[in-house]
Amino acid sequence: MMRSRTILVAAAAAALVLAGCGDDDNTASETTTTSADTSAFPEGSTMARLADAGTITVGTKFDQPLFGLVGPDGEPVGFDVEVAKIIAGELGIDPDDITWKETVSQNREAFIQDDQVDIVVATYTINDKRKEVIDFAGPYYIAGQSLMVRADEESIASSDDLAGKTVCSAEGSTPAKNIEDNFPDTTLQVFAQYTDCLDPLRNGQVDAVTTDNVILAGYVSENPDDFKIVGEQFTEEPYGIGLKLGDEEFRTFINDTLEASFEDGRWATAWEETAGSVLPTPDPPTVNRY
Ligand code: GLU
């Protein structure tokens, strides 16, 4: 009797150590944001490198309310920011240890290629052209191109009304490319970022701003007297997480993390605490492990 009880206690202690739960109370709070056993990452993998470093550099937008907007304290907030925190958490990296780097539409691929960032989470549409130079995990959300006009605008009700109009967008973005390729009678004005389009729209230099519906929804929510969204979404923009081309292991890890977060509610919570203040909670998309 005594003997089997001793064995049971020993087995339980061993299980605690194996599960990494043997920490005393002092360290428990440090591990609450972490569900990863970071020692389990394959040697030489990006996951092991980042977990060992205890930090990750994330490229995100700084001027897009709801997805990535730098707040008064200098820290970005939004759904993309929360998605990045979920990934960092799986690497054992605390949100405070993330280095945020501003990316605009045009420089995202280059920042990944030049190792200026480890990942990009920045309303970043997965497409074949970009996949020639970087890889994408995801999607973790599907947006769609839309139009924002002045609140008193009456001559633009949808993308059918863009002939003869001047439309503003961000350089290097998929909405800008779509206007360039498929709207030959529309003048395209590009700037580095979407916020550069807001004053030109207000003062009549441009007739509309075009980008993803969720980005425009952020600007309308901050300027409800000035702007409105018109018409339906006219493209599909699946948002991916950009990473180094060919880093299969890291891409699989991020895809696994996204799927787990879809399942256990972290993704939905991230949405509700950010974009969900203005937009309905979507169903999680299907990850595409190409
Ligand atoms: N999702 C589009 C893109 O990746 C538009 C939004 C953006 O420019 O970030 O180009």
How far apart are alpha carbons 123 and 141 in whole angstroms? 9
Q: Quote the ligand 1 centre to 242 CA distance (angstroms).
A: 12
Q: Where are the alpha helices (DSSP H) in 196-288?
A: 198-202, 213-222, 248-264, 266-272
Q: What is the mean pLDDT of residues 3-14?
A: 39
> What are the angstrom distances between the C-alpha of 136 and each of 83, 214, 238?
14, 20, 10
Q: Which residues line ligand 1 (CB under 6 A)?
A: 105, 122-125, 170, 173-175, 211-212, 215, 237
Atom of ligand 1 nearest to the CA of 61: 9
**Predicted pLDDT at 36:** 56
Q: How many other C-beta atoms are found inside a 10 Å radius of the C-beta of residue 241? A: 27
pLDDT confidence of 7, banded at 50, 70, 90?
A: very low
To the nearest whole number, what is the mean pLDDT of the chain?
90
Q: What is the mean pLDDT of residues 205-222?
A: 98
Atom of ligand 1 nearest to the CA of 64: 9
Nearest CA to ligand 1 atom 6: 123
Q: Give the chain's end-to-end CA distance (angstroms, integer).
A: 56
3 has a pLDDT exceeding 70:
no
pLDDT > 90: what percent of the chain?
A: 85
Cα Rg, the chain, nearest whole Å: 22
* 19-39: pLDDT as tens digits: 444 343 433 334 344 555 657
Q: Quote the ligand 1 centre to 174 CA distance (angstroms).
A: 6
Q: Which domains are present in the chain?
A: 11-142+239-277 (3.40.190.10), 145-230 (3.40.190.10)
* 84-132: pLDDT as tens digits: 999 999 999 999 999 999 999 999 999 999 999 999 999 999 999 999 9
Q: Quote the ligand 1 centre to 217 CA distance (angstroms).
A: 14
